[in-house]
Amino acid sequence: MFTNHQSILDSDRVRAPTHAELWSVGQAYVDAGSSPTEAVRSVEASYYAVIEAYASDCPGYAGKIVLEIAGAGPSYYSVFVARPEGSGLQKLDRAPEL
């Protein structure tokens, strides 16, 4: 039995992104080297969920994350976190062991 498991769906922490958050995702793509046209296409072709109060189990990150799942399939996904300075989102690189 999973005794220390807390489902994010048991609370109101998962929601759809706002228009401003989608723009921030697009800007994160541009910041990572995509053209504005490519960024818009990526945002328009994906599905999103926002978790307001994510916290890792070990010291690491706590705060809002935006999950992106590409329309091409669930194996194509990205995670965006709030920038430390509080302006916009930053796309994370995947851990190499995943």
Number of domains in the chain: 1
Is 59 part of any domain?
Answer: yes
Is 40 part of any domain?
Answer: yes
Could you tell me which residue, 4 or 73, shows the higher pLDDT?
Answer: 73
Could you tell me which residue, 19 or 11, shows the higher pLDDT?
Answer: 19
Residue 19: domain span:
12-91
Evaluate if residue 1 carries a pLDDT over 60. no
Q: What is the DSSP string of 48-69?
A: EEEEEEEE-SSSS-EEEEEEEE
Position 43 scores a pLDDT of 96
Is 60 part of any domain?
Answer: yes
- CA–centroid distance for 40 within its chain: 16
Place of tokens 């999103």: 48
Is 42 part of any domain?
Answer: yes
Position 6 scores a pLDDT of 54
